[in-house]
């Protein structure tokens, strides 16, 4: 039940997807066909394709000698290639593959193609992505950051792993290693249910826990969340609303159930994010500390496209990592298109043709707004 940072193996976790009706992974679309260009295949759900505005990105790539093709997983991948790079987010398929035969076959076909084409660069590796779908695994990585980044005063909150309902009987004793309030999150870090969370204020509220899940000590942070979006060597920090401060320690208050999307999206307007006027503003995270964190996580994860949720502890001003996300939406990052294209070109061994200041504001940030 308790965290075991040194443990290498994890119980099996369900895997991969295909969003609404799998349509996003099935309907083939080819963009920017250009003779002699590099060919990049994208394997995304309908929702993800809209969120990053893949059509606009494909048009953007056309001017830089890169052909973008949407991969149809229901068809043999060989004739759709060859691909120099494949960019994917197969989270739905990975999660569904544990109990759905169609998803199992889709995933097997994809893995077979990747194995048969070792020269194709995969963004990102499936094992790394699968690991981040499991909060037990990602929180173990987070829990070690205070050692590797000690000089930067980076840490993560204390937490417990609740494997099954059988563990709940002993939670009362184990929870003494944490501090109330507690935030409860699902084990699987994907899908709509992964955003359903609750705040527990006392031992009595532990009856509301639904395993498997993680219990994490809640850290007051002035209702400000800093989302760090990573694209290869580049990263971008965007400020978002977050949960307000709560008195530390157990109290006689009912469990608060909430959806993190409703709290921390750019347009969120929730009573849970409202601070008292007397609450002092916290300093932003150190850019040097964030850069050190991103460098360390890139090394630990072996990934290029991910997000990190960080907060600043109101009491200690410590940079605190509370979650890691696979291929996020990059909302609020107008440089996303140029950063992604530059990274694709870098893994292809080409000199980036996109200037650092080049932006396409009709890209990820505006497309994401329509999907919120």
219 in a labelled binding site: yes
190 is in an annotated binding site: no
SS (H, E, C) 26-38: HCCEEECCCCCCE
- 346 marked as binding residue: no
CA 289 to chain centre: 20
Distance (Å, whole) CA 274 – CA 286: 25
Burial 148-163 (b: 16+ CB within 10 A, else e): bbeebebbbbebbbbe
Establish whether 185 is an annotated binding residue.
Answer: yes
The answer to whether the annotation marks 309 as part of a ligand binding site is: yes
Q: Residue 29 CA to chain centroid, in angstroms?
A: 26
Containing H/E element for 271? Answer: none
Burial letters for 87-107: b for 16+ Cβ neighbours within 10 Å, e otherwise? Answer: bbbbbbbbbbbeebeebbebb
Q: Binding site annotation covers 39?
A: no
- The residues with which 307 forms a beta bridge, in sequence order, are 229, 325
Answer yes or no: is 224 a known binding residue.
Answer: yes
Unique residue bearing structure tokens 């527990």: 200
User: Annotation-wise, does 227 bind a ligand?
Assistant: yes
What's phi and psi for 264, nearest 5 deg?
Answer: -115, 15
135 is in an annotated binding site: yes
Is residue 124 a known part of a binding site?
A: no
How far is residue 81's CA from residue 43's CA, in Å, rounded to a whole number? 13
Please tell me whether 226 is known to bind a ligand: yes
42 known ligand binder:
no
Compute how many other C-beta atoms are within 10 angstroms of the C-beta atom of residue 23. 11
Residue 217 annotated in ligand binding: yes
DSSP character for 154? E
Is 234 labelled as part of a ligand binding site? no
22 known member of a binding site: no
* Helix, strand, coil share (%) of the chain residues, nearest 5: 35, 20, 40
65 carries a ligand binding annotation: no
Check the annotation: does 242 bind a ligand. Answer: yes
The verdict on whether residue 350 carries a ligand-binding annotation is no
The one-character DSSP state at 156 is -
Task: Give binding residues as ranges.
Answer: 48, 89, 135, 185, 195, 216-227, 242, 309, 323, 325, 329
Task: Give binding residues for Mg(2+) as ranges.
Answer: 309, 323, 325
Task: Give binding residues for 1D-myo-inositol 1,3,4-trisphosphate as ranges.
Answer: 48, 89, 195, 227, 325, 329
Task: Give binding residues for ATP as ranges.
Answer: 135, 185, 216-227, 242
């Amino acid at each position: 039940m308790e965290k075991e940072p040194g443990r290498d193996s994890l119980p099996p976790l369900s895997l991969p997807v295909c969003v609404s009706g799998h349509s996003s992974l099935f309907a083939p679309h080819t963009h920017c066909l250009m003779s002699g260009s590099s060919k990049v295949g994208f394997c995304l759900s309908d929702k993800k394709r809209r969120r990053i505005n893949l059509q606009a990105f494909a048009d953007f790539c056309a001017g830089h000698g890169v052909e973008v093709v949407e991969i149809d997983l229901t068809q043999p991948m060989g004739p759709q290639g060859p691909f120099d790079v494949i960019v994917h987010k197969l989270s739905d398929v990975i999660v569904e593959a544990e109990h759905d035969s169609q998803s199992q076959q889709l995933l097997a076909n994809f893995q077979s193609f990747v194995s048969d084409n070792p020269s194709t660069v995969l963004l990102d590796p499936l094992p790394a992505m699968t690991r981040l779908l499991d909060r037990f695994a990602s929180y173990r990585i987070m829990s070690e950051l205070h050692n590797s980044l000690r000089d930067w005063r980076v840490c993560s909150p204390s937490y417990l792993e609740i494997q099954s309902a059988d563990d709940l009987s002993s939670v009362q004793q184990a929870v003494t290693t944490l501090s109330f309030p507690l935030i409860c999150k699902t084990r699987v870090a994907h899908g709509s249910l992964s955003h359903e969370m609750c705040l527990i204020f006392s031992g009595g509220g532990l009856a509301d826990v639904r395993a498997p899940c993680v219990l994490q000590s809640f850290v007051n942070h002035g209702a400000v969340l800093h989302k760090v979006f990573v694209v290869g060597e580049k990263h971008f920090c965007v400020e978002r609303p977050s949960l307000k401060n709560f008195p530390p320690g157990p109290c006689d208050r009912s469990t608060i159930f909430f959806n993190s999307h409703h709290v921390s999206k750019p347009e969120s307007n929730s009573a849970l994010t409202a601070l008292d006027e007397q609450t002092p503003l916290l300093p932003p995270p150190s850019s040097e500390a964030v850069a050190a964190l991103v460098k360390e996580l890139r090394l630990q994860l072996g990934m290029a496209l991910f997000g990190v949720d960080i907060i600043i502890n109101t009491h200690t001003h410590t940079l605190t990592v509370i979650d890691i996300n696979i291929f996020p939406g990059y909302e609020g990052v107008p440089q996303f298109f140029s950063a992604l294209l530059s990274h694709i070109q870098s893994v292809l061994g080409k000199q980036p043709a996109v200037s650092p200041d080049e932006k396409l504001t009709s890209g990820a940030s505006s497309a994401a707004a329509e999907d919120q």
